[in-house]
Structure 1
Amino acid sequence: MKSKGLTYIELILVIGIMLTLSILTASFYARFITQNATANTTDRIVGAFTKAQMYAMMGKNNSNWGVNFGSATVTMYQGNSFGTRNSALDESFSVNSNVAISGFSDINYARATGLPSVAATISIQGGNNSDTVTVNSQGVASK
């Protein structure tokens, strides 16, 4: 007599396959999230440099503008330095905890000329992914 339905062996086999697929999917998803966070942070940093340079060249609020990198925050600020900035005008964004930023921590753009205080290279790393943002002597940021 044939039994209809699943045997325990078939059930264990199906559960094992589903568990394996779930583990693989979770690891790919985690890697995707880290890659996306790294790329997003890179794009936002380039945008912050571009905006700070544009504000400085326009002479917005008759002041210099700069970008500062903290341990978990990137801040675009008005002023000659991060320490003497007008914090009411700060534009900040948080950096994903899986992403690390290294390199020069503060770049300030001169009013009217838009020239940076220093040409610099900033490294953005998240997991096995890394991006580099370069600010040249003319203040142009590129990745």
Structure 2
Amino acid sequence: MRQKGLTFIEILVVIGILGSILLLSLPALRFFEREKGLEGAAEKVLAVLEEAKTSTVASKGESSWGVSFAIQSYTLFKGSAFATRDPAFDKTETLSSSLEFSTISLESNEAVFEKLTGFPVSEGSVVLREKASAQELQLYVNANGDITQIAPGTPSDEERIKDARHVHVDYARIIDTESETMTLTFPNSGSPVVKTTILNTYVQGNALSWEESVSVGGETQKLKIQTHYLNDATNNTQFSVHRDSRVNTKGFSLTLSGDTTGDLIQYNDSGVAAAGTSLYVSSPSLQ
């Protein structure tokens, strides 16, 4: 009579089958682990972006806040631009060695939020990628300040809608930042309001960063003017002008005291941007 139970050979067969199943499932387990790591990292990035927005709206430190991105890290910072920030408040997060930001589609590689509104200075996105599997998640900051996670496939720079909320203007004259002033003139239906700023007050390093609210006809106008280049040997100067029609109702012109040939840019009350009359300035480039 045959004795019940498994023989040694049968046990080896069972072990072999279980081993094969385990080997076949390992790639799926690794994929799942990488996916979870990618999702966890994305959630942390979204949380830091939300922190920057919340801190800005709450006027924490009476300042704007933003997040600057590099391939392997991202930094929460205090200030209207990373180049002119207060480094004492930096909070840098480093990605796992298996992750990277494969695409950073943000102006100056940073997302900065505007005081009062919480709107981003410019909308854009970053793509977080898991290197081994090439899995990607796209994190997006839209014009209304919404911070979301969407699948890759956002319209390209050529396809996205561009308007006069954010324009670039190239300028070919050397600016004396120590002595010159910048003036915004609001026609205000025949009752002009003039705002003059001493440039060197807002220049740090090789960048100008000015952001203020101006009362015109009883309405607050919130504007931001920066430079991406300033007296650069190759690129001269490039101004970045932010005028959002959702929070601005008055037109203005921008002039520099050292330029007697005309203004750099003109806006009407509806927010339409027109080329300035200066001999040194280009037509506005909508962003």
* CA RMSD in angstroms, aligned pairs only: 2.4
CA contact (8 A) 1:34 1:99 kept: no
Shift of 1:36: 0.7
Q: Tell me the distance in 1 between the aligned counterparts of 2:138 and 2:93.
A: 18
Query: Which residue number in structure 2 is paired with residue 62 of structure 1?
Result: 62
Deviations 1:104-127 (A, max 9, x none): 321111233322121102222222
In terms of fraction of residues, the more helix-rich structure is 1
Equivalent residues in 2 for 1:80-95 (5 A)?
A: 80-95=80-95
Shift of 1:128: 4.8
Q: Tell me the distance in 2 between the aligned counterparts of 1:42 and 1:56.
A: 21
TM-score by length of 1: 0.81
CA contact (8 A) 1:50 1:140 kept: no
Q: Tell me the distance in 2 between the aligned counterparts of 1:21 and 1:88.
A: 54
Query: Unpaired segments of 5 or more residues in structure 2?
Result: 150-287
Identity of aligned residues (%): 21
Shift of 1:139: 2.0
CA contact (8 A) 2:69 2:104 kept: no
TM-score by length of 2: 0.44
Q: Tell me the distance in 1 between the aligned counterparts of 2:55 and 2:100.
A: 27
Query: Which residue number in structure 1 is paired with residue 129 of structure 2?
Result: 125
| Bigger Cα Rg | 2
Q: Secondary structure at the match of 2:32?
A: helix
- Which letter maps to 2:10? E
Q: Tell me the distance in 1 between the aligned counterparts of 2:128 and 2:60.
A: 29
Quick one: higher RCO (CA 8 Å, sep 6+), 1 or 2? 1
Query: Which residue number in structure 1 is paired with residue 34 of structure 2?
Result: 34
Q: Tell me the distance in 2 between the aligned counterparts of 1:44 and 1:64.
A: 20
Runs of 4 or more off by more than 3 Å in structure 1?
1-7, 9-12
Shift of 1:135: 0.9
Q: Tell me the distance in 2 between the aligned counterparts of 1:13 and 1:54.
A: 61
Query: Unpaired segments of 5 or more residues in structure 1?
Result: none
Match of 1:140 among 121, 146, 162: 146
In terms of fraction of residues, the more strand-rich structure is 2
